[in-house]
Amino acid sequence: MKRYAVTITRQFGSMGRPIARLIAEQLNINYYDRDIVEKTAKNLSIPVDTITEEEEKAKKTFFNMRYPLGMGTSDMQNQIFLEQQKIISRLADEESCIIVGRCSDYILRNMENAMHIYIYAPYADRLDNCINELMMSEEEAKKSIAEIDKARDSYHLNYAGYLPSKPETKDILISSSLYGYKGTAEFLVNAIKRRFEL
């Protein structure tokens, strides 16, 4: 069986991360998210906190940027992205896996055995997920949805050149509200099995 990679980009509160984890469990393959930050920190010999801080700085900078893309990024932010790019490419070369975020859809855009998924949900459902699943207050949930969506969009636009929700760059765009997060994972597992003839 050939190796394959599934990339997942998502709106905050759409339950994209737990859906990705469930998919990985059901397919019995590895799931990578924060692990990429830890690998980046180790490879660059810098603390994990520094990576997180630089990513956050980058996201805030990108949101306030104007064209041309790339203006306002620091050498450290670019170094982090390039290292994460190497890690994601290497993971996809070595094993079948699920990779969440970090422009993985863009990084693996030319990989033959890759499938790219975008998970979203109506605002009311995302708010409900944040409050009931992520245990946030309503105020914290509203703030997080607004800020994190903007940050992710800006980061992706800067490094990939398009928004993570751009239909032409995805194989599947799905609302997690259609079947709930467990049902969405099951639906996507079946789609992945069919795509890769598993």
Q: Is the overall model pTM greater than 0.75, yes or no?
A: yes
In tens, the pLDDT along 124-145 reads 999 999 999 999 999 999 999 9
Beta-carbon count within 10 A of 139 CB: 8
Q: What is the pLDDT of residue 43?
A: 87
Residue with tokens 């636009």: 157
Q: Is residue 193 part of a domain?
A: no
* 57: CATH: 3.40.50.300
| pLDDT tens by residue, 8-58 | 999 999 999 999 999 999 999 999 998 888 888 888 888 777 776 666 655
pLDDT at 112 over 70: yes
Domain extent at residue 47: 5-187
In a domain, 167, yes or no: yes
pLDDT of residue 54: 64
Assigned domain for 192 exists: no
Number of structural domains (the chain) is: 1
Mean pLDDT of the chain: 88
pLDDT class of 1 with cuts at 50, 70, 90: low
Q: Is residue 75 part of a domain?
A: yes
50, part of any domain: yes
User: Considering the domain boundaries, does residue 96 fall inside one?
Assistant: yes
